[in-house]
Chains A and B, each alone.
Chain A
Amino acid sequence: MTAVVEGTGLTKRFGTGDATVVAVDSVDIRIEESELVMIMGDSGCGKTTLISLLGCILTPDAGELRIDGALIDPVNEDLSVIRHGKIGFVFQLFHLLPYLTAVENVMVAMDIASTKTDAAEKRATELLTQVGLSERVHHRPAQLSGGEKQRVSFARALANRPKIIFADEPTANLDSRQSDNLMNLIQELRREHQTTIAIVTHHEGLKENADRIIEMKDGRIVTT
């Protein structure tokens, strides 16, 4: 199988001197195409730092990263282009822009990628329909429930047809019914869009949905 994301010896430290914390310590990781991976572990074990490295939000202190087969050069490359071109993000607290409607929130991701407004609106509406929000496209985040906000967030992540979506604790702010619905939706979207998905979670109940579980402890991968 082809690796969508492949990290070798990835290391990230924060702080200096005695206060240095090694958040991610020489991690080798490979996520295959169309895989649904769950990265699990206790709080502070380095899960979010790892997906930030894999998602080109942070640059590693050591190690190499390949996305879609291409070696990432964090010094000379514009990482924002990789982020909007190949990666989608879903955040624990949704992070929808409060002054935009659901459809506009999805369109923002395409605006960043310089997609024309008409085309962006068409795709955003289609994606919102797919996530079951066809009746809520013109609602603002404040008018949506937590589950609905997270669906908009997934639609936004899918907007630019990314190679991989990183979701950070996507069910943490949802009740169990909303969590189940969201996981069903994720499976559906994955089948439909052939998208690779990596979910950071400590929610044991979600394990059954994953193709593979990556367990982390103290910045290292202990089980994969």
Chain B
Amino acid sequence: MKTLFLKDMRYRRARVVLTALGITVLISLILLLGGIMNGMRIQARQYVESTGADVWISAEGSGGAFIGFSMVVEEYMAFLNSGPGLAPDSASPLVFAQARPSVRGKSTKAIVVGYKLGQLGGPNHAIEGKMFTPSNFEDYRPEDPVPYEVVIDEKMGLEIGEQITLSNEKVRVVGKAKSLMFVLDTPLLFMDVRIAQKLLLGNTPHVNMMIAKTDTNEQPQQIAAGLDALETIEARTLKQTLTDIIAYYVDEPMKAVQFLRVMLWLAAGILIGMITYVTMLEKTQEIGVLKAIGGSNGYVMGLLLKQVVLISVVGVVLGLILSYVFAAAAPIFVAINFVESIIVVCISFVVCCGSGYLAARKAIAVDPMIAFRGEI
């Protein structure tokens, strides 16, 4: 009777369904947490990579671009552009600052990216509308200031011509750029570097960092190391910057989440182990009878393990499917990595089966003498 274990499961279907659902929820949570972290990593990288810069320069002691407080004076621009190893005139100033603009009367998180149009740091073309009006960058305090204009992320949901308030000033939306959300779906607001300095840096002639491209013949590591040796600045390659930014914005703050993922794994294992064990306790009489009428430990173990494996497979596969459904509906960017999810599913399956096996092993130690007592 190959279906004996299925008949037992159907008889105890409420418990079976609850166990499988418990595993489903835990597995989908594990995968979703991984997907959130993965999404944060992707978002941390995408703007940095989109700039096309090879070298990132920040103030000495800042710990690198995007990490600590960094204010660099613009005079370095001339120095960098005349220095060896960098592509001619590629050094670009960059303001990268967190802000709380008021959008449709509601305070919203955003990151202002102030850069020089046509240079590294932001898009050169809007996918809708137009780019902001560029300032005469060389003139720090132009007599004829440029209008306050911003190019927003296409996913912000604002229309061209709308205004947002930033540092008590009205800034008009003139265009939309391809979505490049930063960590945790923080939209980027692209504007002229002079406007960004005025609105966010107290109208000082500083920027947060400078970025540049190396000559095609040069190794970015060597150029960055050479610049880093200077006393007043820190320089990093793209690779180092990505490592720093992911560590700073994702890995370190998400340590607790990683811990939680491990805990969830343990919870999934304990859940199935516990429910299997409780179910076994309920079935000790049955197990005793099966043993008394000649069922070997292997026979009884086979019945129990088939149930454990089936519940684990159903729970884990449903968890996998559900995680993708939840990811699509999540209010933040969740990127579940398929290979990682398969690994998670396999490990979870092993954890569930392992704990179920331990519970089943305990259960088959039942003395068949129990068949002479009590009721099923």
Contacts and interface: CB of A to CB of B under 8 A. Distances in A.
Interface of A: 48, 52, 55, 57-58, 78, 80-81, 83-85, 87-89, 91-93, 95-100, 104, 107-109, 111-113, 117, 120, 156-157, 160, 168
Interface of B: 1-2, 4, 7-8, 10-12, 285-286, 289-297, 299, 368-369, 371-372, 374-376
Contacts of B299: 80, 112
A113 B295 CA distance: 8
A36 to B, nearest CB: 20
A178 to B, nearest CB: 18
Contacts of A98: 11, 376
B376 A97 contact: yes
A93 B292 CA distance: 14
Given A48-B372, A91-B371, A113 B294 contact: yes
Contact of B376 (A96, A111, A113): A96
Given A57-B368, A91-B371, A111-B4, A99 B294 contact: no
A71 to B, nearest CB: 19
Nearest to A200: B372
Chain B facing A: main interface SS: helix
Across chains A and B, which 4 residue pairs bring their CB atoms closest together, nearest first?
A84-B294, A99-B11, A83-B294, A80-B296
A119 to B, nearest CB: 12
Contacts of A78: 296
B292 A83 contact: yes
A85 B294 CA distance: 8
Contacts, number: 83
Contacts of A95: 285-286, 289, 371, 376
Contacts of B291: 80
Contacts of B374: 93
Contacts of B8: 97, 99
B297 to A, nearest CB: 8
A92 B292 CA distance: 13
Nearest to B8: A99
Contacts of B285: 95
Of B12, B289, B290, B372, which is in contact with the most chain A CB atoms at under 10 Å from its CB? B372
B369 A89 contact: no
A67 to B, nearest CB: 13
Contact of B293 (A89, A100, A117): A89
Nearest to A114: B299
A108 B289 CA distance: 11
A112 B368 contact: no
A78 B296 CA distance: 8
Contacts of A48: 372
A74 B290 CA distance: 19
Nearest to A58: B369
Given A89-B293, A92-B372, A93-B374, 14 more contacts: A80-B294, A84-B294, A84-B295, A91-B289, A95-B285, A95-B289, A100-B4, A104-B1, A104-B7, A108-B1, A108-B290, A111-B1, A120-B1, A168-B372
A177 B190 CA distance: 94
A89 B290 contact: no
B307 to A, nearest CB: 12
A136 B36 CA distance: 58
B11 A57 contact: no
A87 B295 CA distance: 12
B376 A52 contact: no
B365 to A, nearest CB: 14
B372 A91 contact: yes
A52 B294 contact: no
B152 to A, nearest CB: 62
Contacts of B4: 100, 104, 108, 111
Contacts of A100: 4, 7
Contacts of B1: 104, 107-108, 111, 117, 120
B227 to A, nearest CB: 75
